[in-house]
């Protein structure tokens, strides 16, 4: 389904949810159980017969689900916002030459900006020629047809460290990233997103495993903004990073901030209760809520409901899951 169709479907579902809310406050008790469900089903078939698949994907959001009306409205507001593509710009303002033991290479500083935003929203990463080369090779395996007309700057036998060659590559890599991002299927691909985020995430999780929570948190907070902009169509994909931030704040004895990021993670798992992070996150949020004097009964109810539906299986703690991320 393309982006426009997805947005249209989400708007129609949001309108249906609004009708449920209005109906639930005005209809007699005896009529509330059947009419909203039939109304949604009938409208979908009438207006969008080709989108019946949405009936199944949103069934967990029926009036009989465990989500409250407020949670439903918040969920669909978030879904609606996913329809708006975030446009990013790529700049390579500078480079540096690194000499390490017997190797020597150029590192390119990449600034990623959201159009129409202030500088506070920018992300800064560094990549070397071999990183770009690996990305190009990986993308060709999956998108050879889309990339058949794209050129990639070749290595030369000599002169790789001259100012002229470095400046040429700066411009070439800037145009290369711009072209990749302009292609919908490439910008959404795991290989492209990994190129922009994986090295930093690997460093952050390495720090987390080593107990360097302050440094890990610093890196994770830098990465999460970029991840959110790159994966707006797949909000659950950033849950591991959000949960790692929760773990860091919790171990740094900052339960308020841990709870804040935990709520963000839970909001992205409202329809993903089978996600491996769901139960460990719920358990952590219950502990944090109790510590902060917040209401934890609704969280406890969700946990008990899940346990009643599932067979008993071993569930890792949130921290145990986090330290297993990006283990080579």
Q: Where are the domains of the chain?
A: 88-188, 212-324
Dist. CA 177–CA 89, nearest whole Å: 9
Give the bridge partners for 88, in sequence order: 114
Task: Answer yes or no: are the C-beta atoms of 124 and 150 closer than 8 Å.
Answer: no
Residues 212-324, CATH architecture: Alpha Horseshoe (1.25)
pLDDT value at residue 55: 40
pLDDT value at residue 75: 60
CA 99 to chain centre: 35
CA distances from 96 to 81, 166, 175 (A): 38, 10, 20
pLDDT value at residue 322: 96
pLDDT value at residue 118: 63
pLDDT value at residue 121: 75
326 Rama class: left (phi>0) / alpha (psi -120 to 50) / beta: left
By CB atoms closer than 10 A (0-12, 13-18, 19+), residue 101 is exposed
Give the DSSP letter of residue 85: P
The vertex-115 CA angle with 110 and 121, nearest 5°, equals 60
- Which structure tokens are listed for 166? 């470095």
Give the DSSP letter of residue 327: -
pLDDT value at residue 312: 62
Give the bridge partners for 98, in sequence order: 105
- Which structure tokens are listed for 92? 């390579």
The vertex-49 CA angle with 45 and 53, nearest 5°, equals 90
Dist. CA 136–CA 147, nearest whole Å: 9
- Tell me which H or E stretch contains 134: helix 129-143
Task: Answer yes or no: are the C-beta atoms of 20 and 75 closer than 8 Å.
Answer: no
- E-strand ranges in the chain read 88-100, 103-114, 123-128
DSSP 193-236: HHHHHHHHHHHHHHHHHTT-HHHHHHHHHHHHHHHHHH-TT-GG
pLDDT value at residue 52: 41
Q: What share of the chain is helix, strand, coil (3-state, %, to 5)?
A: 65, 10, 25
Please report where in the chains the tokens 């769901």 appear, as a residue. 278
pLDDT value at residue 60: 39
Backbone φ and ψ for 155, nearest 5 degrees, come out as -75, 150
pLDDT along the chain (328 residues), means of 10: 47 47 42 41 42 39 52 58 70 94 92 77 93 96 91 82 93 96 94 97 97 98 94 92 98 98 96 92 96 94 86 82 89
* Domain at 88-188: CATH code: 3.30.1520.10
């Amino acid at each position: 389904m393309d982006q426009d169709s997805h947005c249209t479907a989400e708007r129609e579902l949001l309108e249906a949810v609004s009708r449920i809310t209005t109906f639930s406050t005005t209809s007699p008790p005896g009529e509330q159980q059947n009419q909203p469900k039939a109304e949604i089903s009938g409208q979908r078939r009438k207006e969008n017969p080709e989108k019946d698949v949405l009936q199944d994907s949103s069934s967990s959001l029926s009036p009989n689900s465990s989500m409250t009306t407020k949670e439903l409205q918040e969920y669909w507001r978030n879904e609606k916002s996913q329809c708006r593509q975030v446009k990013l710009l790529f700049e390579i303002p500078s480079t540096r030459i690194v000499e390490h033991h017997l190797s020597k290479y150029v590192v390119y500083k990449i600034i990623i900006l959201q159009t129409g935003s202030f500088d506070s929203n920018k992300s800064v990463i560094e990549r070397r020629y071999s990183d770009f080369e690996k990305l190009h090779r990986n993308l060709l395996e999956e998108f050879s047809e889309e990339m058949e007309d794209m050129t990639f700057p070749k290595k030369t036998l000599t002169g790789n460290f001259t100012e002229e060659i470095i400046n040429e590559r700066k411009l070439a890599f800037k145009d290369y990233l711009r072209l990749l991002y302009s292609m919908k299927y490439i910008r959404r691909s795991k290989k492209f997103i990994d190129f922009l985020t994986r090295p930093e995430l690997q460093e952050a999780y390495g720090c987390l495993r080593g107990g360097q929570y302050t440094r890990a948190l610093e890196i994770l907070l830098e990465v999460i903004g970029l991840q959110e902009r790159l994966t707006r169509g797949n909000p659950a994909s950033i849950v591991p990073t959000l949960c790692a931030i929760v773990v860091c704040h919790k171990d740094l004895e900052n339960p308020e901030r841990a709870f804040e990021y935990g709520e963000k993670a839970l909001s992205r798992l409202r329809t993903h209760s089978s996600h491996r992070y769901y139960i460990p996150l719920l358990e952590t949020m219950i502990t944090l809520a109790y510590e902060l004097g917040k209401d934890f009964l609704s969280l406890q109810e969700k946990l008990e409901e899940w346990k009643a539906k599932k067979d008993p299986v071993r569930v890792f703690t949130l921290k145990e899951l986090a330290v297993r991320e990006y283990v080579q």
